[in-house]
Structure 1
Amino acid sequence: MSMNEFRRLAAKIDQHMQQLAALGVSDTHAIINRMVGYVPNLHKIWVGTSDQQLMALSHEFPEFYRYALIMEEASEAERNKASRPYDGMAEFSEEHKQRAAQLLVTAATLERGYQAFRGSSNLQIFQPQVNELGRLHRQWLSELDSFKSAPRAQGAEPMALGYVNEAFGRLADRIKQLAG
């Protein structure tokens, strides 16, 4: 990926963090919950940039930096736990992990898009964009159903299915609320 692509991803993260700040969302757990769709993009930036590039992005996009710091601290805290309820659980296939990442990225796009139109006094002007978001939302829900049925069909552990349902259920509920 090029630096311009990393800048575009960091700018999206920065924008959503600014939207959350404008809504008064400041609790770390709430931010993590509301920004989970950006984890794949953050990971791309994290592993694809040099230290100098990452520092430049952090300076240019302060809310991106804040999000990266929150996620790094949360990851470190999770790693340092003596045990976790999911320890020993079988991992999903690489293909399924990639599908999950794509669903998260699309969820972030939907959230950011719906938030941008929220509060607009005249949605008629943006009707084509709102219609496109609606189409993307329906497609996302269909892909989410397919994603969730695959591990069930492969006999995944009930606890793993519960984690998937919980994480994506919160995202789906939040997007539905924003779309309404």
Structure 2
Amino acid sequence: MKTPEILFLCTGNSCRSILAEATFNALAGPAMHATSAGSHPTGYVHPRSISLLEREGFRTEGLRSKSWEDLKETPDIVITVCAGAAGETCPAYLGPAIRTHWGVEDPAKATGTEAQIEAAFDTAYHILRYRIEALLQLPVAELLEKDPAKLRQELERIGTLQP
């Protein structure tokens, strides 16, 4: 079976999709691979994303804000992470991939005290990690090959989960 390629897609590709990419790859091992991209990348990874990932023990080398136009592989699954409730417009990936939405508030837009901003990053990370852990419980490669409709249904269910 082919190694499933996951794309975490956002608009800016500086926070949520980066957090998801690094967390997914650290937890998934060689069975699956994720990348992240943005429809309008900021061109930088938010420093708080880097410090959070390092604090969690994840590697951050090579993480960069990139455009979906620069993807080397066609993804099998595209997970958008923009928060519809916040009025963000999530990009629509135009490839043949299974698409789902895991809306998470953008911590880069958080305001308030240092502690409140840090809490926004922690919240986004914990939501994404919880959903990624649920995804990793699925036989993704098998479902991708034999029952993509079931996989899409499971991905949509996971997108509603909260830690």
Same fold? TM cut 0.5? no
**Which structure shows the bigger proportion of residues in helix conformation?**
1
* Larger strand proportion of the pair: 2
TM-score, normalised via structure 1 length: 0.28
**TM-score scaled to structure 2, two decimals?**
0.30
